[in-house]
Amino acid sequence: MNVQLALDRMTIPEAIEMARTVQDHVDWIEVGTSLIKEFGMDSVKAIKKAFPDKVVVADMKTFDNAKYEFELCYQAGADVATVMGAAPLVTVETCMDTAAKYGKTVMIDLLHTSADQQAYLFRYETAISCMHVSKDEQEQKGHALHSTFHAGELTALPDGLKLAVAGGITLQSLPNLLEMRPFVVIVGSAITKAANPRQAAFDIKQVLEQHKEIRING
Ligand SMILES: O=C(CO)[C@H](O)[C@H](O)COP(=O)(O)O
């Protein structure tokens, strides 16, 4: 299981500083959509330059123009780029083709997709599928990830699926989510807005490590 630090709503120097503070306790670093929208590919280039050994995720949220947008991300140094699963299938397929050409990875954001769409998207075995509750759903509707995706739905997840989870994840909500056996746990605000981000990242990583041990031993 990997912890992906999501960097949003900050400047590039602030993002680098935050990532430096917590780098020992996170595995992947996400250049958040807000950074990409505000600063463009300079944000991806700067993060990859500062952290060449980390997996860098460009949260591009592509919905169209897939080849152009994914090439921008991969040429800027991203190891993973995101596409919206609700986009036309030709867009998702073009992302998959571009990733294969560059030897990189696609993360498919399942925000606002139906169960049928998800079942289809799970066929892209080399992609990471991200269960995501959006900021607006959290803030305006009070939705939370661990109550949005129920155990019944999880049985439909194919074996070997590389799953990511994202959206308002906290130290408290994490244990429930681990039942989904995620490959990537994406955490933003619970680390970046914490009084002590390094401690917050450490605590989250500890929970993942403990869960791994329980699974191995029990
Ligand atoms: O994709 C995102 C917003 O669209 C964020 O990266 C994701 O939600 C993680 O951040 P947070 O933990 O603050 O919700």
The DSSP result for 33-60, as a single string, is HHHHHHHTHHHHHHHHHH-TTSEEEEEE
- Report how far residue 116's alpha carbon sits from residue 55's, in angstroms, rounded to the nearest whole number: 30
Measured between alpha carbons, how far is 8 from 188 in angstroms, rounded to an integer?
7
Architecture of domain 2-217: Alpha-Beta Barrel (3.20)
Asked if this assembly's ipTM is beyond 0.85, the reply is yes
Q: Which of 26, 23, 1, 6 is nearest to 193 (CA)?
A: 6
177 pocket-lining for ligand 1 (C-beta < 6 Å): no
For the CA of 132, the nearest atom of ligand 1: 8
Q: What is the pLDDT of residues 27-66, one digit of tens each?
A: 999 999 999 999 999 999 999 999 999 999 999 999 999 9
Residue 30 Cα to ligand 1 middle (Å): 10
The tens digit of pLDDT for each residue in 77-123 reads 999 999 999 999 999 999 999 999 999 999 999 999 999 999 999 99
| Band (153; pLDDT cuts 50, 70, 90) | low
Question: What is the average pLDDT value for the chain, to the nearest integer?
Answer: 93
User: Which of 186, 187, 193 is the best mutation target for the ligand 1 pocket, counting ligand atoms within 8 Å of the beta carbon and taking the most?
Assistant: 186
Question: Max Cα separation, the chain?
Answer: 47
Q: How many angstroms separate the CA atoms of 42 and 217, rounded?
A: 45
Residue 209, C-beta contacts closer than 8 angstroms, at least 6 positions apart: none
Closest atom of ligand 1 relative to the 138 alpha carbon:
14
Q: Is 135 in the pocket of ligand 1 (CB under 6 A)?
A: yes
Q: What is the pLDDT of residue 94?
A: 98
**Overall average pLDDT of the 160-183 stretch:** 93
Identify residue 188 by its one-letter amino acid code.
Answer: G
